[in-house]
Structure 1
Amino acid sequence: MKKKSKNIYSKLLNKIAPLIIILCILIKWQILSITGVVPKFMLPSPFDVIKAFVNDFPLLVHHMKVTLVEASLGLGMGVILGFLVAIIMDMFEFFYKSIYPILIITQTIPTVAIAPLLVLWLGYGILPKIVLIVLTSFFPITIGLLDGFKSADKDALKLMKTMGATPFQNFVHIKLPSSIGYFFAGLRISVSYSIIGAVVAEWLGGFDGLGVYMTRVRKSYSFDKMFAVIFLISIISLFLMFVVKKIQKLSMPWEEAI
């Protein structure tokens, strides 16, 4: 009984602790703004941010829809590309040794440095934004799947080989199931990257989207609106990561049973 109550208390504390920390940060932020330690035009109070969020909510929703469409298309293509690259690298050692260094190099180039080039080459439409999202989101998927494929039970693979299984059967029955957890771990990161990639691409060109909105309010020095859209982007990313976690639980019910 004591152990059960202790577990309940521990779970409750784990859920409340982040909320307490966030509340403390907001209170300190409000105090700094009210007392004028930091000028209000530089650091608007949480209440000013909430007010700006409510007043501009219809406009934020309009821009949010555009960003979500771009992020969804780019993420979908990034997942497909990540799967294809991971499978090829797993099947052929030559491609693994050839492609892996290139993958690492692509992640050392800042997103902000790539975005202007894509806009220059592909214009101000949706295409450069999708390309940038694909470039930022496929890497965690690829690496996650590769780690999953490598973690496959070697004894099970040997058993399949003695039974005359084809490489495709090995992949479907052994390697793919063992990589599901790794895939979802990479997907949670990629979901967040897709939103960030869309916003960064919109900073440099476009007509709609949260990045375009941020650029406009920054030029007008409306920092309360700037903070409002930053919070919205964070909420969207956290919500999408939560959705991925829920899908993972539904896809891997045996994990809950352990």
Structure 2
Amino acid sequence: MIRSIWNKGWPPFLTAILLLLLWQFGVMIAGTPTWRLPAPLTIIEEGIRQAPLLGKHISHTVTVTLLGFSIGSVLGLIIACVLHVIPGMKSAFYPLLVLSQNIPTIALAPLLMIWFGFGILPKLIVIALVCFFPVTVATLGGLSNPDPGMHRYLQMIGASRSQLFWKLELPYALPSVFSGLKISATYSVMGGVIAEWLGSDRGIGVFMLLSKSSFRTDRVFVAIVLIVVLSLLLFGAIALLEKWIVRWKTAKS
């Protein structure tokens, strides 16, 4: 029975609980002050106390994150399809896409604030820049590796380039597309928080900065927990959508 429970995905959960217990008792035994390292129970209590205030911060971060994630994902899909379909485009522009990821987001964000002000637009650009690259790379990889047998068969019966793309390459690339979306989902919330650090009046990033300035380490950990939870929820939503859309892969496996 223990082995059955262990094999159903419990190891990460049980490991996390064990680490939290070690953290809790370690802080209690060492007598570490709260401003340096709060115990998990202290963080939970502070999160409950701050719940009324956190509502507006969470809603702002979620709204900006979802918008930026959607824009970045759609942009990544379009770029990948264009690079794949048009001959020579991938070899010409793919290295530039890789180079674009070497520019730190924290360094680019102030320029966006100067160019576009302190509204929602620069925040959406930051999140979109974080999200589009994983989707582009994963989609390109999927489009380049369709089923060889099906590809030869469609060519033999005279399928056009457009038919090969829509009926074979794109459907077979869907698992790769969702892999890129799940990676982007984990980055998008942090991208939104970074954007809020550089200019906003609300959001989890603003709450974190205010907590850091007042040496409220427990509130900083509350913000970190919220970021992790939101990232996991978005990741889980993408995974459920993948399971619903890519049914042929589930049936095959």
The TM tier, using the shorter chain, reads: over 0.9
Using the alignment, how far apart are the partners of 1:18 and 1:190 within structure 2? 22
State the partner residue of 1:144.
138
Q: Is the 8 A contact 1:43 1:223 kept in 2?
A: yes
Could you list the runs of 4 or more consecutive aligned residues of structure 1 that deviate by over 6 angstroms after TM superposition?
Answer: none
CA RMSD across the alignment? 1.7
Using the alignment, how far apart are the partners of 2:162 and 2:132 within structure 1? 23
State the partner residue of 2:107.
113
**In the alignment, is residue 123 of structure 1 matched against residue 108 of structure 2?**
no
**In the alignment, is residue 210 of structure 1 matched against residue 204 of structure 2?**
yes
2:172 to 178, 202, 214: 178
State the partner residue of 1:65.
59
1:97 shift after superposition: 0.9
Using the alignment, how far apart are the partners of 2:58 and 2:125 within structure 1? 19
State the partner residue of 1:253.
247
State the partner residue of 1:235.
229
State the partner residue of 2:127.
133
1:179 shift after superposition: 0.4
Structure 1 window deviating more from structure 2 (110-119 vs 227-236): it is 110-119
In structure 1, the residue corresponding to 2:146 is in which secondary structure? coil
Letter in 2 for 1:168: S
1:216 shift after superposition: 0.9
**In the alignment, is residue 97 of structure 1 matched against residue 72 of structure 2?**
no
1:14 shift after superposition: 4.6
Q: Is the 8 A contact 2:34 2:218 kept in 1?
A: no
Structure 1 window deviating more from structure 2 (201-210 vs 109-118): it is 109-118
Letter in 2 for 1:179: A
TM-score (structure 1 length as normaliser): 0.92
State the partner residue of 1:32.
26
Q: Is the 8 A contact 1:86 1:142 kept in 2?
A: yes
1:156 shift after superposition: 2.3
C-alpha deviations, 1:36-74, integer Å up to 9, x for none? Answer: 364321101111100110011122221111111111111
Between the two proteins, the alignment pairs up a number of residues equal to 252
Using the alignment, how far apart are the partners of 2:92 and 2:58 within structure 1? 39
Using the alignment, how far apart are the partners of 1:114 and 1:35 within structure 2? 44
For structure 2, the 5+ residue unaligned runs are none
For structure 1, the 5+ residue unaligned runs are none
